[in-house]
Structure 1
Amino acid sequence: MTQQRQRRRWNGLPEWGPLQTILLFFVIWKTLILLIATLSPGPGYDTSTLLLLGRGDDDRPNPPPGTGGERAQEWLPCSSFCWPEKLVRWDAIYFAKIAERGYLFEQEWAFGWGLTRLITLLSRGIARTGIATSKGGAGPLIEINVGIAISHVAHLFSVVVLYHLTKLMFAGEKGKKLALIASILHTITPAGIFLSAPYAESLFALLNFAGHFIYTASLTPNGRGRSWENDLCLVLSGAVFGLATTVRSNGLLNGILYLYDLTGEIRSLPRDGVGVANARKAAALGVAGILVGLGTATPQWIAYLAYCGDENDRPWCKQAVPSIYAWVQDHYWNVGFMRYWTFSNLPLFLLAGPALLIMGLSAAWALYGPKNRLLTRVTGQGTPSATDAIRDVNFTRDQLQKFAIPQLVLAVLALTTYHVQIITRISSGYMVWYWWLAFLVSEEQHVEIFRRKWNLSRIVTRWMMVYAVVQGGLFASFLPPA
């Protein structure tokens, strides 16, 4: 046994692999974030969580006797150090309440239909077992705990899926190293406590990474002709992206991948002609794109049936494309092109600046991949032949360019249209910037700015960790940014 392997053993325990390392790091980091939230001062100026849990009138820690809430209270004993309660802030209040009693008010349709339905389904299953109940005045306690559990489990699995996706994208031993680094970076993402609270970010990241994994597997060069299994994977990836879109509307941007590929198929027709394989792939791309679109259309159709069709139609019902989501974002949340560009919001743009810059730089790196010598050095190593190496490099470059487009579009939309501060958390579900940063970490590259060399990877990773730690305390105390 080599000295390196001997150093990696501890007290005779088996050698740790990358997945065990990822799991250990994940547990340590999550424990730190939850500890910070638990020790935060309290609810601050906003008592929405106390009102949600039925403790806003007299601030009693327990529901009134005989209301049926005692068993639920046993499942979530709350005090000034109740960490589940500390995670119910901002949008999490909406997610928990909607999951408890369904969509009631029009503005609630801004919050992901897919996540609330999943929480409802699991909560009702738990309630049927008799383990706990959230009825009787105790508030949506089961829904809160189920939402927190979903966020933690989804975050862990998204880290694992990102590890395997990275190995699929980048061949050789260096690819394994990049996979480990990227997975750890996703663990300490600046989204921080939002991946522990009952928010949509963790579940979206899992579904988005899974969709990209299946999509990449359907296109991975295998040295033989395209099979129907490849096309089936394409359709399956569209279904997964569709589910991601029900969780967060920006999942719709994944449709760009299929449009990009379909355009390529059409451009190749004069050269390759129309064959069975080409026609089958084009059909699979079309079906996959439709499935992504259904992720947006299905909740809109459900809302249309609920609000439209009588003399009391809401204004959005009469629009050419009736969308309750677009109406709510515009009417209630004032989301629109350049609307957020006010002097009072300048601090929020400053907070979002690092994330926007990172997403922009990494997208540019991926889009100009053919000129990237670093990518050439890393990708393709460990393959059996020079031909395979060239093929892997070209494949990786093509994929990176496609994956960078939705990320770049999202960054531009966040800068010009969205409430810009959310980019720090919604960026957690996109892979390209993790890969860019993983390359910088593995190569320890320096960037010269103002005649001074800076270790950019060290600066970015330190910013991520500090931001997540500070954010955890602010979030639990009901303080911005959110």
Structure 2
Amino acid sequence: MNEKKINSKTCRKTLWYLAIYSRLAVLLFQYICNTIIPDHKAQGVFISPSTEYSDDSIFDRTVAHLLDGFLRWDAQYFLHIYKYGYTYENSLAFFPFYPNLLWILTYIIPGNLNTLFIISGVVVNNILFIVTTIILFDLTLTVHKNIELSLNSSILFCINPAAIFFSAPYSESLYAFTTFYGMYNVYKNNIWKSSILFGISVMTRSNGILNAGFLLYLMIHSAAKRKYKLILKTFFGVLFIFFCFSIYQIYCSYLFCIPREIKYDINVVNYALKHNLFMPNNHTIAEWCGKKLAYTYVQDKYWNVGFLRYFMLKQIPNFILAFPCIFLILNFGINYFYTNRSHIINLGKKKNDFAFIVHAVFLTVFCIFYIHIQVTTRMLASSSPVLYWTCAKYFKFPIYKSKFFLARILSDKKCSLVFFYFVLYFIFGTALFVNFYPFT
């Protein structure tokens, strides 16, 4: 037992260093790629108004020069919400906790808002990523009781295929932190803490609502064991998660369904007129008011999200991009359910990882049929530890300890495929993202 504690402590220390090195690698590599590779002229991309640095101080221009590669794709929406709030209907697709967290952290700090946003976003995300690396180790050790698997899972997390999104000002790092830490606390029966964490996750990303399933799963097994106090706690925990989801939808209705006079920055108004974006005003209300949830309407109207809508020939490259992640999880899930089919009728009562597998497989299938398929990789990488558990099982040795780990990896076909999938996506994903090439 003492030896296990020593090993766990050593593993955590090793993971701290690896997580820090991986974040520094992303920071350096994004700068190099953004400097030497010309930006792609992406069509129809949202760019928050007034994001030019030409009139700013030397410090602002230096920050822009070093970190501007992170302000791509969805980061522009988070920047806009941070600066102006929810002024456009399309911005409602991005949940409020992350941009408002950055706003709170920088509220009293004077300076250029673009600079404050990018610095706070990169710093917060990298700190959360490093902490989440340790949390994943503890979660895996709690569920699987296997220190080697736990270590390898966290090492793979450090170089995961969606690595760039955990450093850029996206909500991935915050979501992974709240989700993995919430899962960990469920297995420790810390219901109130897990409920709060899952509540934050659902105010960070819409798919956080699925985290309520872990509490429902615990509730079902608690009912079988007649643990009434635990049942009551999990019930209120589930209610709290749905309340957190609902409060944002209510806020959206307050903004867009109650006509009132609002003063806007002139640049924001001009951008809306140029791009035909709907803004809250004192004349009209949004089309979805009283009919649909704001989130589902916005996803439908602005991103064409819906059942089988992405099944088009021109999207084949994006399906190929997402295929490795989808294959790894579905292949593992099918084998898992087949091997443990006798446990399914009892909802995996004797399998600690049953709820995780169901959650990961459901999310993967949902991604295939409903969302923009290229988002699958970063969604699964930040939403489920199963991707890392699945891949870690291919490594039959502790990755960081082996002197000739690359030779050992190459000696096994499956192991080498998984390893190079992670590394290549880490490298090319970063290069594509920072230059506005599709990798989202």
TM norm structure 1: 0.75
Name the residue aligned to 1:8. none
Name the residue aligned to 1:215. 186
1:409 aligns with 2:362: yes
Structure 1 Cα separation of the partners of residues 242 and 47 of structure 2: 38
Once the two structures are superposed, what CA deviation does each residue of 1:183-229 show, in whole Å capped at 9, x if it has no partner?
111111100211110001111111111001100111xxxxxxxxxxx
Q: 1:477 aligns with which of 428, 435, 438?
A: 435
Q: Which amino acid letter does the alignment assign opposite residue 252 of structure 2?
A: A
Q: Which runs of 5+ in 1 are unaligned?
A: 1-15, 56-60, 64-68, 219-232, 373-393, 445-452
1:88 aligns with 2:74: no
Name the residue aligned to 1:464. 422
Q: In the TM superposition, what are the counterparts of 1:298-447 in structure 2 within 5 Å?
A: 298-309=247-258, 312-319=284-291, 322-368=292-338, 370=340, 398-429=351-382, 430-442=384-396
Once the two structures are superposed, what CA deviation does each residue of 1:287-342 show, in whole Å capped at 9, x if it has no partner?
111122123112111111111245733221122xx411111001111100001111
Partner of 1:440, secondary structure, is coil
Partner of 1:316, secondary structure, is coil
- 1:366 deviation in Å? 4.5
Q: Which amino acid letter does the alignment assign opposite residue 148 of structure 1?
A: V
Structure 2 Cα separation of the partners of residues 85 and 366 of structure 1: 43
* Structure 1 pair 400–367 and aligned structure 2 pair: CA distance change class (3 A): farther
Name the residue aligned to 1:243. 200
Name the residue aligned to 1:105. 88
Q: 1:191 aligns with which of 162, 169, 174?
A: 162
Once the two structures are superposed, what CA deviation does each residue of 1:432-458 show, in whole Å capped at 9, x if it has no partner?
2211222221269xxxxxxxx963222
1:29 aligns with 2:22: yes
8 Å CA contact 1:33, 1:193 repeated in 2: yes
Name the residue aligned to 2:191. 234
Q: 2:10 aligns with which of 14, 17, 31?
A: 17
Identical counterparts, % of pairs: 24
8 Å CA contact 1:148, 1:196 repeated in 2: yes
Once the two structures are superposed, what CA deviation does each residue of 1:163-194 show, in whole Å capped at 9, x if it has no partner?
111121232xxx22222111111111100211
* Structure 1 pair 163–144 and aligned structure 2 pair: CA distance change class (3 A): same
Name the residue aligned to 2:111. 133
Partner of 1:77, secondary structure, is helix
- 1:49 deviation in Å? 9.5
Structure 2 Cα separation of the partners of residues 201 and 194 of structure 1: 6
Structure 1 Cα separation of the partners of residues 183 and 243 of structure 2: 18
Structure 2 Cα separation of the partners of residues 28 and 281 of structure 1: 41
8 Å CA contact 1:49, 1:88 repeated in 2: no
Q: Which amino acid letter does the alignment assign opposite residue 156 of structure 2?
A: L
Question: Which stretch shows the higher mean deviation, 196-205 or 427-436?
Answer: 427-436
Larger radius of gyration: 1
Please give the root-mean-square deviation of Cα atoms over the aligned residues, in Å: 2.6
- 1:459 deviation in Å? 0.9
Structure 1 Cα separation of the partners of residues 141 and 85 of structure 2: 41
Q: Which amino acid letter does the alignment assign opposite residue 140 of structure 1?
A: N
Q: Which amino acid letter does the alignment assign opposite residue 27 of structure 2?
A: L
* Structure 1 pair 368–241 and aligned structure 2 pair: CA distance change class (3 A): farther
8 Å CA contact 1:97, 1:140 repeated in 2: no
8 Å CA contact 1:369, 1:401 repeated in 2: no
- 1:149 deviation in Å? 1.2
Structure 2 Cα separation of the partners of residues 436 and 54 of structure 1: 41
- 1:75 deviation in Å? 4.6
* Structure 1 pair 117–51 and aligned structure 2 pair: CA distance change class (3 A): closer
Q: 1:142 aligns with which of 116, 132, 150?
A: 116
Q: Which runs of 5+ in 2 are unaligned?
A: 1-8, 260-282, 343-347, 399-410
- 1:364 deviation in Å? 3.2
- 1:53 deviation in Å? 5.7
Structure 2 Cα separation of the partners of residues 285 and 324 of structure 1: 28
Structure 2 Cα separation of the partners of residues 461 and 18 of structure 1: 20
Partner of 1:442, secondary structure, is coil
Count of aligned positions: 388
Structure 2 Cα separation of the partners of residues 142 and 329 of structure 1: 29
Q: Which amino acid letter does the alignment assign opposite residue 325 of structure 2?
A: A
Partner of 1:39, secondary structure, is helix
Q: 2:40 aligns with which of 38, 44, 62?
A: 44
- 1:104 deviation in Å? 0.5
TM norm structure 2: 0.82
Partner of 1:315, secondary structure, is coil
Name the residue aligned to 2:5. none
Partner of 1:100, secondary structure, is helix
Q: 2:150 aligns with which of 174, 179, 187?
A: 179
* Structure 1 pair 366–51 and aligned structure 2 pair: CA distance change class (3 A): same
Name the residue aligned to 1:283. 232
Partner of 1:317, secondary structure, is coil
Q: Which amino acid letter does the alignment assign opposite residue 150 of structure 1?
A: V
